[in-house]
Structure 1
Amino acid sequence: MTKSQLIDQIKKKKSFLCIGLDVDLTKIPKHLLKEEDPIFAFNKAIIDTTHHLCVAYKPNTAFYEAYGLKGWKSLEKTINYLNENHPEIFTIADAKRGDIGNTSSMYAKAFFEDLAFDSVTVAPYMGKDSVEPFLDFKNKHTILLALTSNQGAFDFQTKTIEGKELYKHVLETSKSWKNAENLMYVVGATKAEYLAEIRRIIPESFLLVPGVGAQGGNLHDVCKYGMSSNIGLLINSSRGIIYASDGLDFAEAAAKKAEELQKEMALELAC
């Protein structure tokens, strides 16, 4: 998917919502555990009731890898279902990969060719040659971890080196990498006060922003400081949507929560 296609979807749906499909079998409705593939059954129901309200889905691969081969099969079925039924939806493999060059090439093939995701999250701290293999793929996007929403982000990412915070070094350096136009960046909603500085470095890049909802991030502040001339935001909500109910109405409850966020986003886009 191209960025222009993603922007068109945002404008059409008046939404820049990304829904995280982080499936924990201890949290999903108990009646689904009787299904042959409870993870896929849960995902399919969520997708069926929310696809018109969001522009992206983001499965965190850890929640599938934890269940071994069965979990990986569930992930494969989920991405195939999305690509076959909703090809206009932007898909994100939240895998946080990043390794030496030839290993990164294999990771990129796994997510971009075998599973056919539109994008994958990548850790930048092994440098250029660990990221550029992901950037080689046409119309695929590498979402670089820049400033994350967890408390531990302050351990390294905001530390000052040569008068500049480390995350700023990452942002500025990444702009010089081959095919850097295929980069997007993760910036946590709980770090909204940093967004103005980030936009000075990468004014038009798309930002994937987790942390709105269960982690306490504020949508209005993220839009105020982070929205670009081409919108440039994907706001992720996972637990706050998919676990809105653990009853028979779980999918409808998820849709209701997604619609609440979509309406807020429509107001932000209208400003």
Structure 2
Amino acid sequence: MNKAELFQQIRKKESFLCVGLDTDIQKIPRNLLDTSDAIFAFNKEIIDATHDLAVAYKPNLAFYESMGVNGWNSLEKTVNYIRYKYPEIFIIADAKRGDIGNTSALYARAFFDTMDFDAVTVAPYMGEDSVKPFFTYVGKWVILLALTSNKGADDFQYVEEGGEKLFEKVIKKSQEWSNEDNMMYVVGATRAEMLSDIRKIAPNHFLLVPGVGAQGGSLAEVARYGMNSECGLLVNSSRQIIYASTGDDFAKKAREAALEVQKEMAELLKKYLK
């Protein structure tokens, strides 16, 4: 999926919502545990209930890797289901990979060839050769960790040298590797005011913004500081939507939660896009 196609989906759905499929076997409704694949059964219902409100889904791989082979099978079935049923949806592997070149090449093959994700999150702190292999796949996206929403981000990402913070250096340097047509940045919603500084460095890139909802980030603030002329935002919400209910009505409640977010997004798009 290219940038124009992604923006077309945003316009069509009046939404820049990414639903995080952080599916925890210990939190899903107990009745699903009787199915042959409880994780996939949960994901399928969430996807069916929210597909017209979301432009992207983002499975966090930790939730699947923690279950070993069964978890990987559930993940693969989830991706295949989206591809078959809702092919317009953008699918992100929240994997946070990054290693020496030949290892990164295999990670890229896993997520782009074997699993057919549209994008993968990558940690850039080993430098160019650890990221470059991901850029060799035409039509695929690399989403670099730039400024995260966790408390520990202060330990390194804000370290300043010569008037430049580390996360700013990462964004500037990475633009030598590729461009806004296949590279995005992760920027936490709890750091919304920093989005204006990031937009000075990367005005045209899409930003993947976690932290809205359960983590306390403000959607209005994210749009205020981070939206550009093509929206340029994918805002992720996970727990607020997929765990809106732990009962048999979980899919219905997930849709209601997603709809509430989508309605706010529609108003923000009208406000900021000409």
Measured against the shorter chain, the TM-score band is over 0.9
Q: Deviations over 1:71-98 (max 9, x none)?
A: 0000000000001111100000000000
Runs of 4+ deviating beyond 3 Å: 178-181
Q: Which position in structure 1 is the counterpart of 2:18?
A: 18
Q: Which position in structure 1 is the counterpart of 2:196?
A: 196
Q: Which position in structure 2 is the counterpart of 1:106?
A: 106
Amino acid at match of 1:192: A
Amino acid at match of 1:19: V
Q: Which position in structure 2 is the counterpart of 1:213?
A: 213
Q: Which position in structure 2 is the counterpart of 1:224?
A: 224
Q: Deviations over 1:107-132 (max 9, x none)?
A: 00000010000000000000000001
Q: Deviations over 1:144-198 (max 9, x none)?
A: 0000010111110011022210000000000001466411000000000100000
Amino acid at match of 1:263: K
Q: Which position in structure 2 is the counterpart of 1:125?
A: 125
Q: Which position in structure 1 is the counterpart of 2:266?
A: 266
Query: C-alpha separation between the residues in 2 aligned to 1:245 and 1:126?
Result: 40
Query: C-alpha separation between the residues in 2 aligned to 1:76 and 1:203?
Result: 34
How far did 1:3 drift?
Answer: 1.0
Query: CA, structure 1 residues 179+199, in 2 after alignment: closer, same or farther (shift >3 Å)?
Result: closer
Query: CA, structure 1 residues 261+227, in 2 after alignment: closer, same or farther (shift >3 Å)?
Result: same
| 8 A Cα contact 1:32 1:42, kept in partner | yes
| 8 A Cα contact 2:60 2:95, kept in partner | yes
Map residues 34-183 of structure 1 onto 2, 5 A cutoff: 34-178=34-178, 181-183=181-183
Q: Which SS does the other structure have where 1:254 is aligned? A: helix
Consecutive unaligned residues of structure 2, counting only runs of 5 or more, are: none
Consecutive unaligned residues of structure 1, counting only runs of 5 or more, are: none
| 8 A Cα contact 1:112 1:140, kept in partner | yes
Q: Which position in structure 1 is the counterpart of 2:248?
A: 248
| 8 A Cα contact 1:135 1:180, kept in partner | no
| 8 A Cα contact 2:180 2:206, kept in partner | no
Query: C-alpha separation between the residues in 1 aligned to 2:155 and 2:79?
Result: 34
Query: C-alpha separation between the residues in 2 aligned to 1:171 and 1:198?
Result: 8
Q: Which SS does the other structure have where 1:186 is aligned? A: strand
Identity among equivalent positions (%) equals 62
**TM-score relative to the length of structure 1:** 0.99
Query: C-alpha separation between the residues in 2 aligned to 1:182 and 1:208?
Result: 13
Query: C-alpha separation between the residues in 2 aligned to 1:55 and 1:180?
Result: 18
| 8 A Cα contact 1:93 1:121, kept in partner | yes
